[in-house]
Amino acid sequence: MSKYVILIHEREADYATMTPEGWQSVVDAHGAFTKAVGELGGTLVGGEALQQTTTAASIRSGEVTEGPLVESTEALLGYYVIEARDFDHAVEIAKVTPAPFGAVEVRPVLDPSAASAPLTV
């Protein structure tokens, strides 16, 4: 099984106005997702929700600025690391990832011992 990361990109502002019941619904949806990973034949390796983008710092060429790396209508708000048979299997699992205010992105985790080049373009 290979490792994949599921990146959760959502509109952060929508969470700021969410009711406690709405928040609980999102928490419950993520609990259901963690169970679904195993039911779909994958393994949940890890994952975390991230604090709001106002807590971020970006560093480029040694210069530090407050805030996220890019300004966008959607921000990286969390991630899961899963093990799946292949990319298609990872996509199948990612389809049930809760992201009510945005979308998810699936990317293979680079295995440096198996890679002939660090990045392919």
pLDDT tens series, the chain, 121 aa: 899 999 999 999 999 899 999 999 999 999 999 999 999 999 999 999 999 988 888 888 898 988 777 777 889 999 999 999 999 999 999 999 999 999 999 999 988 777 565 555 4
H helix runs in the chain, sequence order: 12-16, 20-39, 87-94
CATH architecture of 2-108: 2-Layer Sandwich (3.30)
Q: Tell me which H or E stretch contains 57.
A: strand 57-60
Is beta strand 2-10 parallel, antiparallel or unpaired with respect to 102-108? Answer: antiparallel
Among candidate residues 78, 97, 108, the one with its CA nearest the CA of residue 3: 108
**Strands of 102-108's sheet, edge to edge?**
43-49, 75-84, 2-10, 102-108
The owner of tokens 């708000």 is 77
Q: Does the model's pTM come out above 0.75?
A: yes
- Segments making up each domain of the chain, as ranges: 2-108
